[in-house]
Structure 1
Amino acid sequence: MVERTGYVDGEPCWADVVAADVPAAQHFYGSVFGWTYTDTGADFGHYVMCLKNGRIVAGMSPPMPGSEQLPAAWSLYLMSHDLAETAYRIEEQGGKLLVAPMDIPGNGRMLFAMDPSGAAFGAWEPGRHTGSQLYDETGALCWAEVTTREPTVTDFFYRDLFGYRQTRVPGTVDSGDEAIDYSAWSLGDADPVAGRLTMTPAWEGVPAHWSVYFATDDTDAAAKRALAAGGSVQHGPFDSPHGRMAVIEDPNGAVFTLISR
């Protein structure tokens, strides 16, 4: 297993999903990934830790009071060991704080923000909770990318926020006839940790957002399990230069991507 005990600033380190029907979500992700669950209790709003092989890999929660009408969605968190500085830089670079830095007692601190193109994301300052304990492992987070109509603004914002080294990756979508604009983001000389995808006209009506990817050893089989458990397949399965992928919608309407390397 690819176990993690910590992340450097700017790395995707955590993802959680809001589910109006938590039991349906637990059944779905248990069927697709084999996840088991631990409810953290009423003091933490019944936030659920999702586990793969006994390791914490994601979070799940019911909607917060007053937000019941918001669509279900996966949220991504980037690591920050100085959340106050990150909050300052978010606003300085044209972003907007949606949730100011707040303590999660005994676990760490978090904020939630919107980048200048309208994509929402979180940042996490670790305490006892240091992020996903597995990464790039079957049933765990393995990649994340921001999808936007404003690539230049977005690239500058995140580069200034975390110092990403950005490399344009030329290529085509799986149909082979539509060019894409993709930028891979690295920290120092390390391998890329995240990416930025520019929306094409095919994305009409879809707002800017962060996409989360979960690893699987067999995308086609996992997509079939998703269908059988009440989800739907929005796109794929299809081959890409990085592996076989499928875009999945869970029974509550939250979207994520499966990939087998």
Structure 2
Amino acid sequence: MAAQPEGTPIWADAMFSDLEGAKSFYSAVLGWTFGEATSEYGNYTQAYADGKAVAAVVPPMPGQEGSSQWCLYLASPDAAATAEKIKQNGGTVLMEPMQVGDFGSMCLARDPSGVAFGVWQPGTHEGFEKTGEPGSFAWAEVFTREPEKSDAFFPAVFPYGTQRMEDEHIDYRIFNLGADRPVLGRMKMSEEEFPQEARPCVQVFWAVPNCDEAVSAAQELNGRLVFGPMDSPFGRFAALVDPQGAGFAVIDMSTTSGAVPKMV
């Protein structure tokens, strides 16, 4: 697989206290199967869609127990250099760059508005083995209450261009790699739509063949519907929270409605 450009969403994982419960939930909602746990790396367990690696789940390390959250990793040719850029631009490095065997190097960070994310410098593990198909990564959005901080930070750390959605009702931007490759959205968390306890985060969208069926499967397993399902020019989508507190979204990209909004 060709190396992904710097700043490309390249991988996602989450810690779950009840690992078997998480595996059962995402198997039902996203159709995932799971590989063998890697005891050498804290029982890190990869998820697969049609035999292709799409994500991973792992038990929390001692002292990290609590509500689960998906972490999106952005590609870097040099994790140590990216960590320095994060610090120089007002971000916080939560976990300094570390080598993970021959798989690659990683660090964990937070932008100045409190949005946590990861950085992955690929080795033998090159990231998502497929995207944009059912069961795999489709899109991600930075949810922040301080958009001006995120808007300055991410293009300073990664080679992003930005565009603003021409819509008076929401404050939304796109981070692009090149002129025609959108890779990440940025949504302002309004007081009306996001309760005060909602934390800034990166919301990961997983592709599904049918949004409504995925929502029903999640609810049957004690997942909570937060928003939707809703039709859009990009697909029918919904936001959910799994039984262990990890937020995520599902989107059926084959079911679209309406005109694509203008970006300026």
TM-score, normalised by the number of residues in structure 1 = 0.93
Q: Contact (CA 8 Å) 1:18, 1:60: kept in 2 or not?
A: yes
The question of 1:165 aligning with 2:161 is answered yes
Residue in structure 2 matched with residue 128 of structure 1 by the alignment: 124
Report deviation, 1:106.
1.5
The question of 1:25 aligning with 2:22 is answered yes
Residue in structure 1 matched with residue 217 of structure 2 by the alignment: 225
Residue in structure 2 matched with residue 175 of structure 1 by the alignment: none
Which amino acid is the alignment partner of residue 206 of structure 1?
A
Q: Which of 105, 111, 132 matches 1:109? A: 105
Which amino acid is the alignment partner of residue 260 of structure 1?
D
Matches within 5 A, 1:81-92: 81-92=77-88
Which amino acid is the alignment partner of residue 186 of structure 2?
R
Which amino acid is the alignment partner of residue 81 of structure 1?
P
**Structure 2 counterpart SS, 1:201:** coil
Residue in structure 2 matched with residue 195 of structure 1 by the alignment: 185
Moved over 2 A (4+): none
The question of 1:58 aligning with 2:55 is answered yes
1:150-193 Cα distance to aligned partner (Å, 9 max, x none)? 11111111011112110001237xxxxxx100001111123211
Q: Contact (CA 8 Å) 2:12, 2:73: kept in 1 or not?
A: yes
Output the CA distance in 2 between the equivalents of 1:84 and 1:73. 24
Output the CA distance in 2 between the equivalents of 1:208 and 1:230. 23
The question of 1:48 aligning with 2:45 is answered yes
TM-score, normalised by the number of residues in structure 2 = 0.92
Q: Contact (CA 8 Å) 1:138, 1:215: kept in 2 or not?
A: yes
Output the CA distance in 2 between the equivalents of 1:188 and 1:219. 30
The question of 1:240 aligning with 2:232 is answered yes
Q: Contact (CA 8 Å) 1:6, 1:131: kept in 2 or not?
A: no
The question of 1:180 aligning with 2:170 is answered yes
Q: Contact (CA 8 Å) 2:208, 2:252: kept in 1 or not?
A: yes
Output the CA distance in 1 between the equivalents of 2:69 and 2:79. 23
Where structure 1 has 5 or more consecutive residues not aligned to the other structure, the ranges are: 173-178
Report deviation, 1:41.
2.2
Residue in structure 1 matched with residue 64 of structure 2 by the alignment: 67
Residue in structure 2 matched with residue 260 of structure 1 by the alignment: 252
The question of 1:144 aligning with 2:140 is answered yes
Name the stretch that deviates more: 195-204 or 122-131: 195-204
Residue in structure 2 matched with residue 176 of structure 1 by the alignment: none
Report deviation, 1:5.
5.2
Q: Which of 22, 27, 35 matches 2:32? A: 35
The question of 1:154 aligning with 2:150 is answered yes
Cα RMSD after superposing both structures? 1.3
**Structure 1 counterpart SS, 2:134:** coil
Residue in structure 1 matched with residue 241 of structure 2 by the alignment: 249
Q: Contact (CA 8 Å) 2:6, 2:159: kept in 1 or not?
A: no
The question of 1:207 aligning with 2:199 is answered yes
Residue in structure 1 matched with residue 257 of structure 2 by the alignment: none
**Structure 1 counterpart SS, 2:231:** strand
**Structure 2 counterpart SS, 1:27:** helix
Residue in structure 1 matched with residue 259 of structure 2 by the alignment: none
Name the structure, 1 or 2, with higher relative contact order (CA <8 Å, separation 6+). 1
Output the CA distance in 2 between the equivalents of 1:40 and 1:102. 20
Where structure 2 has 5 or more consecutive residues not aligned to the other structure, the ranges are: 254-264
Output the CA distance in 1 between the equivalents of 2:212 and 2:81. 43
Give the total of aligned pairs: 251
